[in-house]
Chain A
Amino acid sequence: MKRFMAFVKKEFLHILRDYRTLIIMFGLPVAQILIFGFVVRTDIHNAGIAILDLSKDEVTRSLTDKLASSDFFRITANLDSYNDIDAILKKGKTKEVIVFEDNFSAKMIHQGSAMVSIIADGSEPNVANLVTNYTRSIISSFSASLAKGQSGTSGLITTEVRMFFNPRLESQFMFVPGVITLILILICALMTSVTITREKEFGTMEVLLVSPLKPWQIIIGKVAPYFFLSIVNVTVILLMAWSVFRMPVAGSIALLFGECMLYILMALSLGILISTVAKDMQSAIFISFIGLMLPSLLLSGFIYPIENMPKIYDYVSMIMPPRWFVTIIRSVMVKGVGLAYVWKETLIMAAMTVFFIVLSAKRFKERL
């Protein structure tokens, strides 16, 4: 045991001595969470739109003003004919063109209905959907306000909606936990797999293996410092979420830390497993970064909810540890639930951790 402790201490000193890596290790997650917390959002401001007004009358002008004065849109051009639409959309700065038919207000008054066509650039489906919806709702409310003068009440049933957990509908509540999930797994898996393959690449693993330390002691000794550093990292990140993004931890902080530790442990054991497969650092980095980045980003529900994916992805994403942690951390941080609501996810993560450890122990032995 004493030998083991000495080894852990040596590993600690190794890491602490390399102040450049240390700065990067603490600085990067903090900087990334800061940037992404502000940058990753899905609501739209100032999207470029163009107007093709074939009528140019009172009504179309005031509707155009209404669109321009909204926070969502910025008018990039006034077009003269249908032929201009393709050209302006191809430039890419304009996301949709709104076409008012000719004699707009006359048709509205005499025939009871005039037509607006929205032509959106479908090459960005998400933006196309959002701008179309915004435009529709602005025009509808404009139309309703015109009609109000003529007809009486608009209906009987009233509705009241209450937005739970996030009354101001901030996208950060969705994305900050996601960013934490993504960055933690990448950093932990990268660090562990690299630190072990490094010994292999330089041949120093042989030296360690002939020492009286047992193989598992070597591995744990190498990984333990990263476990502590990661916990410090989590603490800093959570403090930042609270102070910068005004995201208090709604649930129990002890539970949140417990879950984070489990997740870190899982990510570290995944890193160990990767290091048993990879021969050198390049391969280890390739798997733990390029292999993990996109799947963690896309199949975890971080940005794209899994419910909206084709059914089969409900099962495919089950093997992605971040999926479970995103659910846990959102539930605990934002909804404030206790273990009773997330025990299933916790259990799955624990099982994954055990699985990774057992598998890497087996592989490790086989090779020796």
Chain B
Amino acid sequence: MRKVLFLIQKEFRQILRNKFLVRAILLVPVIQMLVLVPAVTFEIKSVDLGVRDNDHSPESRELISRLTGSSFFRITATPLNDDQDESLLLSGKSDLVMIIPDGFAKAIKGRETPKIEVLADAVNATSAEMGWVYLYNIIMDYNRDILVESGNGQSSPQGITITNRFWYNQDLNYKFYMLPGILVILITAIGIMLAGLNLVKEKESGTIEQINVTPIKKWQLIISKVIPFFIIGIIDLAFGLLIGKLAFNIPFAGSILLLFACSAVFLVAVLGLALFFSTFASTQQQYMFIAFFFILIFVLMSGIFTPTESMPLWAQKVDIANPVCYLMRINRMIMLKGSTFSDISGDLAGLSILALLFITFAVRSYRKRS
């Protein structure tokens, strides 16, 4: 045991000696969280609308003023012809272009059905659909009102009224959602990159030989390589949560102890994986590529940026082996919903199995003499 402690001490000294890296380990997560967490939101604040009014009647102006009245639309342009419509979409100046046909007012008065044309920039399919639905609803409201005004509309009772509420996060505050997620990503990236590079570096510069000829056992070496980065991960986590509390007032509905326990299991899994990967690489460059590949996959498939529910089924199955995905869910459940041990036991069990598996892989594939 004493040997292990000395080894850990040596690792820490080596890490702390690199002042630049130490500063980066502490500052990068803090800065990124402060800057990135408030940025992200999926709600659409405003849609840039181009309006071509070919009618210039009180009716068409009424419709347009309803659009400007809703804080959702911002009229950015008034194109005059087809070419201008298209160039607005091409340049991105407008997301939607609405064309009110000539004779709009006359048609309404004459009980005919004028047709409003809408062109949408659908590169971002979700935004295009949402913008279009909002626009459609406003047009339909207007439609209903002119029918009622003319005495023709049965102000027909709506059959079903819908109310909705969001539990655990009433205002759908994205910060509460993003903060734990970004924190997990940073810890994952830092853990996998640093721990693995550290071991490969010894290989690349040949110092691993010196350790190999000492009586240190394999498990002692592995433990001494894991523990420093485990501690760094926990410190980064505590740091990040503190920022969340101080800067964003993020709620802690559940037990912090449980959160740290789950994160500890997670760190074991991730660091085990790092050591496992490191056995495949002989240079830091090679390791960097392997780590880069898996970190990016873990992150983009974790369900934080795009929901796991929208992934194809095979991808959801692959996520069984994605430790980041588990911790994202667990964090959210504990912090926002106050889920208890029994609620998360399934995910925690999955994570523990992964941790066990990865550590076993790492120990098995690590050859002391190679």
Contact = CB atoms under 8 A, between A and B. Distances in A.
A163 B120 contact: yes
Interface in B174-199: 174, 176-177, 182, 185-186, 189-190, 193-194, 197-198
A170 to B, nearest CB: 6
Interface stretch (B161-169, B219-227, B260-268): B161-169
A282 B339 CA distance: 38
A195 B161 CA distance: 64
Contacts of A293: 189, 295-296, 299
A20 B339 CA distance: 45
A159 B125 CA distance: 19
Interface string B113-130: 111111111111111111
Interface residues of A, number: 121
B75 interface: no
A216 interface: no
B279 to A, nearest CB: 13
A95 B120 CA distance: 30
A47 to B, nearest CB: 5
Given A190-B292, A297-B305, A125 B32 contact: no
Contact of A159 (B115, B124, B166): B115
B177 A124 contact: yes
Contact of A143 (B92, B136, B160): B160
Contact of A125 (B18, B162, B177, B301): B177
Interface string A319-340: 0000000010011001101000
Contacts of B157: 112-113
Nearest to B96: A161
Give the contact-size bracket for chain B: 35 or more
Contact of A167 (B36, B122, B174, B177): B122
A78 to B, nearest CB: 19
B18 A90 contact: no
Contacts of A331: 90, 92
B117 A162 contact: yes
Interface string A1-19: 0000000000000000010
A122 B284 contact: no
B125 A166 contact: yes
A134 to B, nearest CB: 11
B172 A194 contact: no
A158 B41 CA distance: 33
Interface string A283-294: 101110111011
A93 to B, nearest CB: 9
A156 B108 contact: yes
A24 B154 CA distance: 68
Given A21-B285, A118-B163, A123-B333, A90 B194 contact: no
Interface stretch (A145-153, A234-242, A253-261): A145-153
**Chain A interface mostly:** helix
A160 B133 CA distance: 12
Given A120-B166, A294-B182, A142 B160 contact: yes
Interface in B1-53: 18, 20-21, 24-25, 28, 32, 35-36, 38-46, 48
Interface stretch (B142-150, B209-217, B352-360, B361-369): B142-150
Interface string A40-54: 111111110000000
A132 B166 CA distance: 9
A355 B304 CA distance: 34
Interface string B71-98: 0000000000000001001111000000
B46 A307 contact: yes
B114 A165 contact: no
Given A157-B139, A279-B20, A307-B45, A150 B156 contact: yes
Contact of B128 (A117, A132, A143, A163): A163
Given A127-B309, A294-B32, A158 B292 contact: no
B309 A47 contact: yes
A143 B159 contact: yes
Contacts of B297: 32, 35
A298 B161 CA distance: 37
A20 B289 CA distance: 10
Contact of B39 (A32, A164, A304): A304
A119 to B, nearest CB: 5
Interface in A169-222: 169-171, 173-174, 183, 186-187, 190-191, 194-195, 198, 202
B288 A157 contact: no
A94 to B, nearest CB: 11
B119 A162 contact: yes
A351 interface: no
Interface string A263-300: 00000000000000011111101110111011101110
Given A157-B142, A166-B125, A171-B126, A92 B339 contact: yes
A308 B123 contact: no
Interface of A: 18, 20-21, 24-25, 28, 31-32, 35-36, 38-47, 85-86, 89-92, 95, 108, 112-130, 132-133, 135-137, 139-140, 142-143, 146-147, 150-151, 155-167, 169-171, 173-174, 183, 186-187, 190-191, 194-195, 198, 202, 278-283, 285-287, 289-291, 293-295, 297-299, 303-305, 307-310, 313, 316, 327, 330-331, 334-335, 337, 341
Interface of B: 18, 20-21, 24-25, 28, 32, 35-36, 38-46, 48, 86, 89-92, 107-108, 111-130, 132-133, 136, 139-140, 142-144, 146-147, 154, 156-170, 172-174, 176-177, 182, 185-186, 189-190, 193-194, 197-198, 201, 205, 283-286, 288-290, 292-293, 295-297, 299-301, 305-307, 309-312, 315, 329, 332-333, 336-340, 343-344, 347
Given A120-B166, A290-B190, 11 more contacts: A28-B289, A117-B164, A122-B169, A125-B174, A126-B307, A143-B159, A156-B112, A159-B139, A163-B120, A279-B18, A286-B25
7 contacts: A24-B293, A39-B306, A126-B174, A147-B159, A151-B154, A162-B120, A307-B48
